Amino acid sequence: MKARICDKGVSFSPDRLISRGSPLHRPDAGDCIMTDATSTPSAGWRMKFAAFSLAVSIFSVIWFMVAALGTRFGLWPYQVGLLQMTIGIGAKLAMLALGLGLVAQVMALIKYPRVQPMILALVATLIAAMGMFRLVGFGSLAGSLPPIHDIQTDWGDPVAFSDQLMALRAEDGATNPVLPAPTVPDYAESRWPGTAGRLVSDLQAEAEPASAEDEDALYPRIDPLYFDQAPDEVAALAQRLMDRRGWTPVAGPETLLDGSLRLEATAQSGWFGFRDDIALRLRSLDGVTRVDVRSVSRVGLSDLGANAKRVNGLLMEMQDRGDGRWAP
């Protein structure tokens, strides 16, 4: 199809070009030049729908970010940011974005041109699918792990938190108590049948590996660690590693009445800013130093395995850097 390029929007007919045409004639500003360019049809409303689906997908990502960061910076409680905005509204928004992306793909295939609307539709679907997969994975992980948020290496003689740390928890509005023998609350029964009223220590033990060859355990190894060095030397090592992990020091090394040392710190998660409190107890037993660790979340029923991972990670690094061992 022939295309016309006209200066200043002046229309021109072939007859005018012929009447003026000669080997020496040059078209003036009012003339039009015939070209062989082919015009490209527009995707029209299909392109607009694909762009709309992409906008909804991007908005869903922004929504999740706002929900998390608002919780982290104290604009609203975690019940609003996590339970309502993320799991409640966010899940519906992600499903809507995914549905719009899929519909946009079908509409892009209706007729030519297909490339541009299909690209936008695919990007929109990919973004929405990533959000949905993350939510589904979050729910699946929460359902597979025990509903506990208190992990430690010695439930027979629990590691106690200092009054200073307990005051910080109260000031921050912590809803999880720190008890010698905590149990799972009754409201967990609806989602985790058979767990209500059970000891947290029993659920932790069941989630840990039964042997060194057990690779299907829900939790990593949570055991005391032993060193030949004196407690103050091991405490210095632990403090360096805790600082390197970015944990906020609370107290310690503090000498307790029984002669043991205690270190305390607070760890904060990335997006939502959930705070978990950690205490290390170091005591001399029969010429060796035994290290016990406890990590407790301030809010939330299930910690999604974060405390177990944190305790194991710290002990493993201490073992590697301080020549620790898992037996006296």
Question: Please, which pLDDT band fits residue 27 given cuts at 50, 70 and 90?
Answer: low
Asked if 294 and 153 touch (Cβ cutoff 8 Å), the reply is: yes
Instruction: Answer yes or no: pTM beyond 0.95.
Output: no
Predicted confidence at residue 212, as pLDDT, reads 78
The residues near 51 (Cβ < 8 Å, ≥ 6 apart) are 120
Predicted confidence at residue 9, as pLDDT, reads 43
- Written as one letter, the residue type at 327 is A
Residues listed for the chain: 328
Percent of the chain with pLDDT over 70: 88
Checking if the pLDDT of 68 tops 60, the result is: yes
- CA distances, 66 to each of 51, 115, 137, 172, 301 (Å): 22, 33, 20, 21, 23
Question: Please, which pLDDT band fits residue 18 given cuts at 50, 70 and 90?
Answer: very low
Where are the alpha helices (H) located in the chain, listed in sequence order? 14-20, 45-72, 78, 91-108, 115-144, 163-171, 200-207, 231-244, 306-322
Model confidence pLDDT, tens digit, residues 190-230 = 999 999 999 999 999 999 998 878 889 999 999 999 999 99
CA–CA gap between residue 94 and residue 90 (Å, rounded):
6
Predicted confidence at residue 215, as pLDDT, reads 85
Asked if 38 and 67 touch (Cβ cutoff 8 Å), the reply is: no
Predicted confidence at residue 40, as pLDDT, reads 61
Predicted confidence at residue 99, as pLDDT, reads 97
Asked if 10 and 32 touch (Cβ cutoff 8 Å), the reply is: yes
Model confidence pLDDT, tens digit, residues 123-168 = 999 999 999 999 999 999 999 999 999 999 999 999 999 999 999 9
Checking if the pLDDT of 34 tops 60, the result is: no
Report the chain's mean pLDDT, rounded to a whole number: 89
Predicted confidence at residue 28, as pLDDT, reads 55
Q: Any idea which of 14-18, 49-53, 187-191 has the lowest mean pLDDT?
A: 14-18
Whether omega for the bond prior to residue 27 falls within 30 degrees of 0, making it cis, is no
Question: Please, which pLDDT band fits residue 263 given cuts at 50, 70 and 90?
Answer: very high
Model confidence pLDDT, tens digit, residues 181-192 = 999 999 999 999
- CA atoms within 13 A of residue 156's CA, in its CB half-sphere: 2
Question: Please, which pLDDT band fits residue 26 given cuts at 50, 70 and 90?
Answer: low
Q: Among candidates 230, 327, 319, which has minimal Cα distance to 282?
A: 230
Model confidence pLDDT, tens digit, residues 99-120 = 999 999 999 998 888 899 999 9
DSSP 38-49: -PPPP-THHHHH
Predicted confidence at residue 137, as pLDDT, reads 93
Model confidence pLDDT, tens digit, residues 2-12 = 444 444 444 44
Average pLDDT over residues 47-73: 96
CA–CA gap between residue 265 and residue 159 (Å, rounded):
14
CA–CA gap between residue 313 and residue 319 (Å, rounded):
10
Model confidence pLDDT, tens digit, residues 242-260 = 999 999 999 879 999 999 9
Predicted confidence at residue 251, as pLDDT, reads 87
The residues near 64 (Cβ < 8 Å, ≥ 6 apart) are 86, 90, 131
Predicted confidence at residue 320, as pLDDT, reads 96
Checking if the pLDDT of 294 tops 80, the result is: yes
